[in-house]
Amino acid sequence: MDKADLAWVSISTLLVLLMVMPGLALFYGGLVRSKNVLSVLVQVVSTFALAIVIWFIYGYSLAFTEGNSIMGGFSRLMFSGMLDLSTNKFELAGTIPELSFAAFQATFAGITCALIVGGIAERVRYSAVLLFTVVWLTFAYLPIAHMVWAPGGWLFERGALDFAGGTVVHINSGVAGLVGAYFIGKRVGYGRESMQPHNLPMAMIGASLLWVGWFGFNAGSALSANEIAALAFFNTLVATAGGILAWVLVEWKYKGKPSLLGAISGAVAGLVGITPAAGLVGPGGALLIGLAAGAICLWGVNGLKKMLRADDSLDVFGIHGVGGIVGALLTGVFNAQVLGGPGLDSASAIPGQVWLQFEGVLITIVWSAVVAWVAYFIADKVVGLRVSAEVEREGLDIHSHGETAYHR
């Protein structure tokens, strides 16, 4: 075991935790109306907690143990065989205890589930979120994580590149959020009433914590305190800066004003874009990926959103889905050594790699969409996916959770 690696992966795990609590929670919370802020916070926190528990019981085993090319096996149920406390023997994953690897990966499963909440926010029933999370995590996240990351996994063996989870986390959750937005329908008054964010400074704090935490997400995915971690670390810095600038400048040119919401959305877009590429491209490639993600995600929440006609409340698909796709495809480009990357040794290998990346994207989209639809269907039949119109008007905070964020 390598102590430096263990320390880095442990810190990275904490950083990913910080991304969700309070990062993502505050980012989402600030973007909804004040009557629903607590409902979003509690949904983010509880889906994360639920995912961690499922991860411990069977999630890790199904995602990361040997099985077939789609799903792992049951050999690590309840982490069995991972550690023997009577003899103080801990199995290793690479140079760190497997327990630490499982903890790090647990936070990934958690944040993916929490991200989806943004697509159905402000009208979804709390119990339906929990039920959906159980089904979707089990039948979408676990197999896709296995296919992409586990040796023997379908996409892994074909050679699709995904350093820190562009497909597994972002495309996966983005698609599930979009399907949810279609399934649950638009919010009452959508397009007619003002649904402006109730607290942009809160969203700004959340986005900032996301950026900080994302260094654990990306650089921690090296699973070692090594040069690749250093590369992923810097790439996470420069791509995000690119994402912010691209979004703000394009918004300024075409919408008239550079906005704070634009700046923080650009940051998240850049972060999502660099995720699959973090340790697989050079810093120049990272900057270009960040710029591209920032500009294209701005289209994702404008032109594309209008075309899709779904009320994806917090633009989970527009940013995480679109940014994930941009990042996944460009990883196949900038991975090439001629473009400053550490991978493909000739330019002629780029189209083949991009095709592999595209395949991975497509499989993730279809898989996640189908499972998400079924999971929403089940949640709808069992507890009802959506609250009543009256409750929605009054706000989920007081009705579903019996508390309000602000005194009036």
Partner 1 sequence: MKLITAIIKPFKLDEVREALSDIGIQGMTVTEVKGFGRQKGHTELYRGAEYTVDFLPKLRLEMAVSEHMLEQAIEQLCTAAHTGKIGDGKIFVTPIEQAIRIRTGESGDSAL
Separation of alpha carbons 243 and 195, rounded Å: 25
Least distance CB 233 / partner 1 (angstroms):
29
Phi, psi (deg, nearest 5) at residue 302: -115, -90
Which of residues 159 and 201 has its CB atom nearest to partner 1 in the complex?
201
Least distance CB 319 / partner 1 (angstroms):
9
Which of residues 63 and 301 has its CB atom nearest to partner 1 in the complex?
301
Amino acid found at 154: W
Q: Count Cβ atoms below 10 Å from residue 392 Cβ, excluding itself.
A: 19
Least distance CB 262 / partner 1 (angstroms):
8
Which of residues 262 and 282 has its CB atom nearest to partner 1 in the complex?
262
Which of residues 168 and 250 has its CB atom nearest to partner 1 in the complex?
250
Q: Tell me, what DSSP letter sits at residue 78? A: G
β-strands 83-84, 89-90 pairing: antiparallel
Contact 117, 51 (CB under 8 A): no
Least distance CB 113 / partner 1 (angstroms):
23
| Torsion (CA) 92, 93, 94, 96 in degrees, nearest 10 | -60
Least distance CB 118 / partner 1 (angstroms):
12
Which of residues 21 and 250 has its CB atom nearest to partner 1 in the complex?
250
Phi, psi (deg, nearest 5) at residue 162: -150, 95
Separation of alpha carbons 391 and 348, rounded Å: 58
Chain-centre distance for alpha carbon 98? 23
Separation of alpha carbons 387 and 121, rounded Å: 11
List contacts with partner 1 (CB under 8 A): 194-197, 255-257, 259, 261-262, 265, 301-302, 305-306, 315, 318
Least distance CB 196 / partner 1 (angstroms):
5
Least distance CB 178 / partner 1 (angstroms):
14
Which of residues 289 and 298 has its CB atom nearest to partner 1 in the complex?
298
For residue 328, give the nearest of 213, 178, 175 by alpha carbon: 175
Which of residues 69 and 259 has its CB atom nearest to partner 1 in the complex?
259
What ranges in 195-226 are assigned the alpha helix state H? Answer: 200-219
DSSP codes of every residue in 312-364: -TT-IIIIIIHHHHHHHHHHHHHTSGGGT-SS-SSGGGHHHHHHHHHHHHHHH
Least distance CB 269 / partner 1 (angstroms):
11
Least distance CB 123 / partner 1 (angstroms):
16
Which of residues 126 and 299 has its CB atom nearest to partner 1 in the complex?
299
Contact 136, 375 (CB under 8 A): yes
Which of residues 76 and 198 has its CB atom nearest to partner 1 in the complex?
198
Report the chain's terminal Cα–Cα distance, integer Å: 56
For residue 292, give the nearest of 319, 323, 261 by alpha carbon: 323
